[in-house]
Amino acid sequence: MLALPAATAAAAAPAEADAQLAHTAVEFTSADGTRLHGELVAPQGVSGAPGLAMIAGAGPVAMDELRPAAEAYAAHGIPTLIWDKRTAGYSTLSRDYDRLADDALAAVQLLHSRPEIDPKRVGLWGLSEGAWVATLAAGRTSEVSFVVTAGAVGLSPARQQAWAYGEFLRHAGIGGSLVPTMQSTLIRELSAAGLFPEADYDPVPAWERLRVPVLAEWGTLDREAVPAESERIVRDALDRAGNRHYTIRNVPDVRHNLRRSFDDGFDRPSQLPDDYADFESRWITGLAAGLPPVSVDAAPAQEHASRPLAPLGWYESPWLQAASVVVCLLGFVGHLAAGAVRRLRRRPAPSGVPRPARWAALTGAFAVVGAPLYLLFMAITAASLPGPVLLGRPVVWSVLQLASVATVVAVALTVAAAVRSHPANGSRVRLGLLALSGAVFVPWALYWGLLYP
pLDDT tens readout for residues 39-69? 999 999 999 999 999 999 999 999 999 999 9
pLDDT averaged over the chain? 91
Q: Which phi and psi (to 5°) does residue 170 adopt?
A: -65, -40
Percent of the chain at pLDDT exceeding 70: 91
CATH superfamily, domain 13-156+201-296, is: Alpha/Beta hydrolase fold, catalytic domain (3.40.50.1820)
What is the reported pLDDT for 12? 33
What is the reported pLDDT for 301? 83
Confidence of residue 14 (pLDDT cuts 50, 70, 90): very low
pLDDT in tens, 136-182: 999 999 999 999 999 999 999 999 999 999 999 999 999 999 999 99
What is the reported pLDDT for 418? 77
What is the reported pLDDT for 4? 31
Give the integer Cα–Cα distance in Å for 152 and 135: 10
Q: Which of 391, 8, 12, 14 is nearest to 174 (CA)?
A: 391
What is the reported pLDDT for 421? 72
What average pLDDT does this structure show over 256-278?
95
Percent of the chain at pLDDT exceeding 90: 82
What is the reported pLDDT for 92? 80
Yes or no: say if 152 and 216 are a contact pair by the CB < 8 Å rule: yes
